[in-house]
Structure 1
Amino acid sequence: MTHYPILVTSDIVCPWCYIGHTRLTRAITAHKERYPNDTFHLKYLPFYLNPPPHLDSSQNLPAFPVTSVNKRAYYAAKFGPERGRQVEVRIVSAAASDGLSFSFGGNTGISRNGHRLVYYAQTHGGEEAQNKVMLGLWRRYYEREIDITLLETLVEVGVESGLGSAEKVREYLESGRDGEVVDRLAEEQRGGGISGVPNYVVADMWEVSGAQEPEVFLQLFRRWKDLEVKGQVKGVEEGDGAGKGVGACL
C-alpha cells in the first residue's frame, strides 16, 4: 500500500482550480482501479488572486458584508472586453470537456471568508469536511451563479458539509476568527514562489502547476510507487517536477 499526500494551493474563485480538481480526481480514481489499497490525502492551502484590501493598509475591516461585482464585468475590466469574452469561452469549453457546466453569470468578490470556512472545516471536520466545503463553494460559484461572498451562502455550505448548525457556522463566520491565520497561509504560498493556481505538490517531491491532464498525475503516482519499491524515495532531482503553468489563474 502506498500513501500519497498532495498539497493543493488554490483560490475558490479560480476556475482552473475546479477544473484541476476534477482532473486530479479522475487520476486518483484511475490509479485506485489498479491499486485499490493505495490512499490519498489532500490538503488545500489558500491563495488570493485578489488580496483583501486590509492586507495593504491598517484597516480592520468587518468580516461581512463583502463587496461583490458582476463576474463578466470583472473579467472585462481585468482582461479587456474582447479578451474577457475569449477567456470565458476557453474556460467554459475546458470545463465541458471534463463534464462541468460552467456559467459566468452572477457575482464575484474577495474569497477570504470562503477560505476561512475551508480552514474551519479542516480544523473541525477533517479532510472529508474540507473536500465538501471546496466542492460546495465551487459548484455554487461556477455552475449555479451563486454569490459565495454572501454570509447565508457560506452558512449553507458549512451546514451541508457537516460543520454544525446554521447558528454555529454563522457565529464563526461573523466573528472573523482565523482570518489572520488564513492571510498568513496565503502570503506564505505567494512568498514561496507560487504566482498562479492551482499548484500541487505531490508526495513532498514534485510540483505540478496548472490544471494538468490526469496522465500527468498518474505518471507521478507511478514514479513514486516505483521509487518506493526500490527504496529510493529520497534524492529525486529537482528537474523531475512535471507540467508547469498550463491552465492556471494568475
Structure 2
Amino acid sequence: MLLNIDLVSDFVCPWCFIGKTRLERALADLRAARPEVETHINWLPFFLNPDTPAEGEPYRAFLEAKFGGPAAVDAMWAKVAEAGAPDVSFAFDRIRTRPNTLPAHRLIYRAQASGAAADKVARLANDLFVAHFQQGRDIGDIDTLVELASPDGGKADAFRNYLKSDADADTVRRMAGQVQQQGISAVPFFIFNRKIAVSGAQSAGALGAAMLQALE
C-alpha cells in the first residue's frame, strides 16, 4: 500500500519547518503501526515573497516593514518559537539575509527529478531549513547551497554549474504557479493521496489521522 504526500512549502517559512518536523513524527508513528504502508513525499515549491531580489534582502528590516515594527517582529518570533517547541528550535537573531529561495527549490526539484533516494531529498530539505533558521546561513548563496547539496564535495562542480545556470528555473516557477492556481495560498500544505488536504503546521496526531483517512 502506498501513501503519496504532496508537501507544499518554502524554506524561509518557519511554520513549514515545524510542519515538516511534525510530519516526520507522524510518519514514524505510521510506520510503527502500519509497516506495510510505503510512503513517498513530493516536495512542491511555494514562494512566500516572489519579489525577493536575487541577491536577497536584509531579514530584520523586511520583517519590520511587513509586520509593523520591531515589537511586532519580536512578538511574532516568540510566538513561533513557543509553537515550535519542543519539535523545532529557532535562532532568528542569527539570520541576516532573507534569501530568494528559487535556487533552493531548484536543488530539491533536481534531486527529485533525477530519482535521488527519498532519504537524500529529505536530508537536503532539512539541511536547508536548518541552515536558514538555526545557523543563520544565506541559502540563496551559491557557495552555501553547493556545500549543502554536496557536503562531502562530491559533484560540487556539477551543482555549482547547475546553480549558476537558469536550468529548471522556469519549471519551478511554473510549478509554484500551478500550486497557487489550485487555491493554495498559505504553507505548509499537505495533500495525502490526492484525497485529503491539511493546511498549516498541524500536530503530528492530526497529520497522522489525515494519513490514515487517506489510506481508507
TM-score by length of 2: 0.92
| Letter paired with 1:150 | D
Return the offset for 1:52. Answer: 4.1
Residue of structure 2 equivalent to 1:176: 166
Q: Which residue of 207, 210, 214 maps to 1:220? A: 210
Among candidates 68, 77, 83, match of residue 80 of structure 1: 68
Q: CA deviation at 1:68?
A: 2.3
* Residue in 1 that maps onto 2:14: 15
CA distance in 1, matches of 2:153, 2:26: 28
Q: What secondary structure does 1:97 align onto?
A: coil
Q: Does residue 68 of structure 1 match 2:56? A: yes
Q: CA deviation at 1:204?
A: 1.0
Contact 1:163–1:169 (CA under 8 A) maintained in structure 2: no
Q: Distance in 1 between matches of 2:149 and 2:158?
A: 9
Match of 2:81 in 1: 92
The 5 A counterparts of 1:1-250 are: 2-52=1-51, 66-81=54-69, 82-98=71-87, 100-104=88-92, 105-106=94-95, 107-124=97-114, 125-160=116-151, 164-225=154-215, 227=216
Q: Is the 8 A contact 1:4 1:41 kept in 2?
A: yes
Aligned-pair CA distance for 1:127 = 2.7
1:187 alignment partner AA: G
Indicate the RMSD between aligned Cα atoms, in angstroms. 1.8
Rounded to whole Å, the distance in 2 between the matches of 1:30 and 1:53 is 38
- What is the DSSP-based 3-state SS (H/G/I as helix, E as strand, rest coil) of the residue aligned with 1:197? coil
SS at match of 2:187: coil
Between the two proteins, what is the percent identity of the paired residues? 32
Equivalent position amino acid for 1:37 in 2? E
Residues 206 and 101 (structure 1), Cα distance of their counterparts in 2 relative to 1, 3 Å cut: same
Deviation at 1:186, TM superposition (A): 0.5
Does the 8 Å contact 1:121/1:163 carry over to 2? no
Letter in 2 for 1:196: A
The separation in 2 between residues aligned to 1:155 and 1:170, in whole angstroms, is: 6
Higher RCO, 1 vs 2 (CA within 8 Å, ≥6 residues apart): 2
How many residues of Structure 1 are paired with residues of Structure 2 in the alignment?
212
* Cα displacement string for residues 189-226 of structure 1 (whole angstroms, at most 9, x for unaligned residues): 1111111001110111011000000111221233244x
Counterpart amino acid of residue 29 in structure 1: A
TM-score by length of 1: 0.80
Q: Which amino acid aligns with 2:137?
A: I
Shift of 1:126: 4.2
Cα distance change, pair 150–53 in 1 and its aligned pair in 2 (3 A): closer
Alpha carbons 2:131, 2:137 under 8 Å: kept: yes
* Structure 1 runs, 4 residues or longer, greater than 6 Å off: none
2:56–2:99 Cα contact (<8 Å) kept: yes
Whole-angstrom CA distance in 2 between matches of 1:163 and 1:182: 25
Does the residue aligned with 1:4 lie in a helix, a strand or coil? strand
CA distance in 2, matches of 1:38, 1:163: 35
Amino acid in the other structure paired with 2:108? V
| SS of the residue 1:42 aligns to | strand
Specify whether residues 163 and 208 from structure 1 end up closer, same or farther in structure 2 by C-alpha distance, changes over 3 A only. Answer: farther
Shift of 1:136: 1.1
